[in-house]
A and B are shown apart, each in its own frame.
Chain A
């Protein structure tokens, strides 16, 4: 375990930046925290979490795949990929860090998505333990320990001190380049962890009952009549999917400029009416089916295909951002009531 005074964070960030890019949560002009490229003077946000999730850095909203040049019936393929530089993402919360392992299961399974893989390979993830969880947090119900997040390095902010623990080789390599980090006792974070864990247990959503969900529950949940009332007011705006750290659906589109074509991918949403629309038909004709897809995917389909792991990390973003105040917790509570 290492430590540095909070007043020296600028020195730490400057030293990291000397070697590679550094992103930290900082408040934007609207007062929302966002992962922002660090520059001298940029202050660490005091907010619990970023408005947009950390997935943006590995799975950007828009990403070029390949280019084509068209000449009289012939096609020339043009490489558009840029190898990213090494970067550090500092201040990732436990929930978002867990989301990376969920995205890994999608993008790093065969056939590997090399765009995502490349960004993951270039990144060092430095997480930051939570001390003041909010009422919308239910990471604990999803098996995430906010007091001891994973990542290449784990940090704790405690009484004006930043505690720093390297967890992986990448984390060790970064630590070695930062001489301003001083050794400290291995149990320095223990008291804070105990406090945070006790606090987590008192959160309104800590005891969220997930026993009605998980692998094998499709049949029990698919035709439940409650889907109609749950989805009734859904606008199909896709806000929940865009802010969600684990939502990973994408579209592949093209931009044509004369004889050059750029093929890119961009985030898409299962909440959109044209997501599954075909000329021959539409398997999800109303918002009810699209809404059901989003939640059953996270709560049943994903765990069934991924060793029981839920496709939600309990970050609470969709609770805070949905314009009609619908969210996964309401779905869990409503459908968790089993009818005999």
Chain B
């Protein structure tokens, strides 16, 4: 009998990195020490701690990372509390990958890209940004606008500073909500910063972050003259099966776990406003 898709594999957490006061990044391999499965940027996996619960997380590492999967996880509830308290070397369960992922090899190919993220919203974008960096020649200019509450809340700050911003053709625009003594960068909310930067409307935009940020940034992009067909985002709803069967995560006719989590705004416009 084929293994049921609801039954997970055992995985090992080999490394835990503290990114911010409430975000840690977990490195996961299978029991054989290898990467549990291959994925597309933007896809997710179900992680669980038996006895505590199972939850869906976006895969933060790029598919081009061949040795392991990584997940940047914010502490917010049972499963994440437990993960944050654990020591490296412990086992968890993992199943996936789930969802559609970003059209990195089709719609994004050859385009100038603009990534906009707020807080932990960088997690799903991290995978696609590193994928685009790996296949750099396939994409045009890359701009990354990333904002958080404070310096300490910027996820992957060292990597952004030491790798992303040093590469040709990549521009990183960081912002934090309030002034801080050690900070000499931009201060202000992401939507306003996007307005100030006034990016070229020919860009394909990938946006991820808290709902308010999405709402106001979308308004800013519309005012700047962007087309909704070239703006992508990821949705997050409560999930249990991640297989399109438990009936929990639909927005109208679409199941976020199966038909999403990546949607273009013109696709979201077609769906009822229930998210």
Contact = CB atoms under 8 A, between A and B. Distances in A.
Interface of A: 65-66, 68, 70, 73-75, 77, 81, 83, 106-107, 109, 111-115, 118, 218-219, 222, 248-252, 254, 256, 261, 263, 265, 268, 270, 275-281, 283-284, 289, 293, 296-297, 300-301, 304-305
B211 interface: yes
A252 B6 CA distance: 9
Given A218-B272, A289-B274, A276 B51 contact: no
Contacts of B90: 73-74
Given A250-B240, A252-B241, A281-B211, A270 B247 contact: yes
8 contacts: A73-B91, A74-B90, A112-B2, A113-B245, A219-B272, A248-B247, A254-B51, A276-B238
B7 to A, nearest CB: 5
Contacts of A219: 272
B85 interface: no
Q: Describe A's contact surface by its main secondary structure.
A: mixed
Contacts of B251: 283
- Give the one of B5, B50, B91 with max A CB within 10 A: B50
Contact of A256 (B5, B6, B51, B275): B51
A192 B247 CA distance: 40
B10 A77 contact: yes
A24 B54 CA distance: 38
Given A218-B253, A278-B238, A304-B253, A65 B4 contact: yes
Nearest to A66: B7
B253 A106 contact: no
Nearest to A83: B1
Contacts of A263: 50
Interface string B1-31: 1111111101000000000000000000000
Given A252-B54, A279-B77, A289-B274, A114 B4 contact: yes
Contacts of B211: 281
Interface size band for B: 35 or more
A30 B218 CA distance: 59
Contacts of A275: 238, 248
B252 interface: yes
A261 B50 contact: yes
A114 B2 contact: yes
Given A75-B10, A114-B1, A250-B245, 11 more contacts: A75-B91, A75-B93, A252-B6, A252-B240, A261-B51, A265-B6, A277-B238, A281-B211, A283-B251, A289-B274, A301-B253
A227 to B, nearest CB: 12
Nearest to A259: B51
Given A70-B51, A283-B275, A276 B1 contact: no
A249 to B, nearest CB: 3
Given A68-B50, A218-B253, A276-B238, A75 B247 contact: no
Given A249-B247, A263-B50, A268-B246, A222 B253 contact: no
Contacts of B246: 249-252, 265, 268
B89 interface: yes
Contacts of B236: 278, 280
Contacts of B76: 279-280
B75 to A, nearest CB: 11
Contacts of A297: 247, 250
A36 to B, nearest CB: 28
A66 B3 CA distance: 11
A99 to B, nearest CB: 15
B274 A284 contact: yes
Contacts of A218: 252-253, 271-272
Contacts of A284: 274
Contact of B252 (A107, A115, A254, A301): A301
Contacts of A70: 50-51
B241 A250 contact: yes
A252 B5 CA distance: 13
A330 to B, nearest CB: 21
Nearest to B7: A66
B254 to A, nearest CB: 9
